[in-house]
Every structure is written in C-alpha cells, then in structure tokens.
Amino acid sequence: MSAAGRTALLTGVTGGWGRAVLERFAAEGWNVAVTHREEVAPGDLPEGVLAVRAELSDPDAAVAAVAAAVDRFGRVDALAHVAGGFAMAGPIDEQPVDVWRSQMTINLDTAYFMTRAVLSSMKAAGRGSIVYIGTSAMLAPFSGASGYIVSKVALGGLMRCVDVEVRTQGIRCNTVVAKIVDTPRNRAESPDADFSRWTTGEELAEIVEWLCTDASAPLSGGLIPAYGRA
C-alpha cells in the first residue's frame, strides 16, 4: 500500500542525521508532522510538513503533539522517535546524578510519553508502527556512559512491552540499532576513522521509513542492527 494519505509523526528530525528521516518520509509521500523545541519552527521544512513545538519530556506536550497531527491529518499511522541524546560522564561512581537523570529523560521518558500519547489513535485505526533508535552499546557496553547505555537498554525493554501489548491489535514496534553514524560531529571526534564504513543518515532513514510501511508488516519486537561495516 502506498504511503500516500498516511501520516507519520517524527521527533528529533529537524537537525543532525535525523533530518534525513524527515526528507525520506516527505519524499515517499507521507503526511508529516514533526516536533521541535525551538520557539520558532525551522524555516526550511519541506512543503506541507506540520511543525509542532513540544518539550517531549512533558507528557502533556506529547499528547498535544499527537492531537495536532490528528487534527491536521485525521490520524497518525507511524511514530518515528529519533529524538535522544548522548553523554559521556565518567565511571558510575563519578557520574553526576543529574547526567544520569537527564539521559533517562531524553532517551527513555520522551519515547514513553510519545508512545502512550499515540497509541489511542493507532488502536482506533487498528494499525500503526512505532520505531525507536537504539545503539550497539545496548548489547556491548563501553565504559563512561552508563546513563546513556542504560537508558537505551530500557528503551529496548519499552519496545518489547509495546510489542507484546499491541501487536495483536495491528500495531508494531521495532528498534533500529545504530553503531556509529556518519555525521560532522563524529568525523571531527574520529578524524582518522574510515568514514566509508559508517552508516549514513540516509541509510538509517530508509530503514526507519521501511519499518513504517506494509512491506515490513511481519516485523515487530525486533532489535534491528544497522551497523554498516563499522
């Protein structure tokens, strides 16, 4: 089935590699709503994209973002939750508590709030797809980023809970697991790396959008690795 007429609500796509996700959904004919934190919406959004200002750590703001998308487009068929953040803050016994809490907020709470907000619309339609972004560190941790890693491990747990609760109602949930993405920041931090081995934003965007289409309909509850050759 064509994406024409279907609506995707996207978070974390107005900058960084997430912008490729926005461009992919728009190019494939989706109705698109995006969240943004800035007071004024970005001025370079594709034509027809609905921009909704939302602080996603606020559950009421998540509800309002979904309501705005439904009001404009009639329903929400897909949620691609790209929003998140990374912090290196030292060993567990030295990491500031506020870093731990902020990582849980930005990587886990936002996904939970957006998911619980969008499920009623999807349940009413009897279909939907939710996609999160994970990290290879969920499976192979490294030292110094426990807040980030644990928040992403918990995100994987949330994905499995969503899957078991709503898969039989036609709603799927998957996590795309990235390793290192080819971004200007990552290039600057690893100038001697072979960038050709890294996954690009465009490649991740294609996977995310595919997981929201009928072509991936059998898949739910999956941690889907997208490591490139890294």
Contact assessment for residue 36 and residue 11, using Cβ atoms and an 8 Å cutoff: no
**Total domain count, the chain:** 1
96: domain CATH number? 3.40.50.720
Q: Which helix (H) or strand (E) holds 6?
A: none
Q: For the residues 174-189, what does the mean pLDDT come to?
A: 94
Domain that holds residue 79: 7-226
Backbone phi and psi for residue 64, each to the nearest 5 degrees, phi listed first: -65, -35
Domain-embedded: residue 182: yes
pLDDT digits (tens, 9 = 90+) for 21-46: 999 999 999 999 999 998 888 888 99
Domain-embedded: residue 1: no
Tell me how far apart the alpha carbons of residues 151 and 209 are, in angstroms, rounded to a whole number.
24
Domain-embedded: residue 21: yes
Domain-embedded: residue 2: no
Is the predicted pLDDT of residue 155 greater than 70, yes or no? yes
Q: Which helix (H) or strand (E) holds 32?
A: strand 31-36
Mean pLDDT, rounded, of the chain: 95
Domain-embedded: residue 212: yes
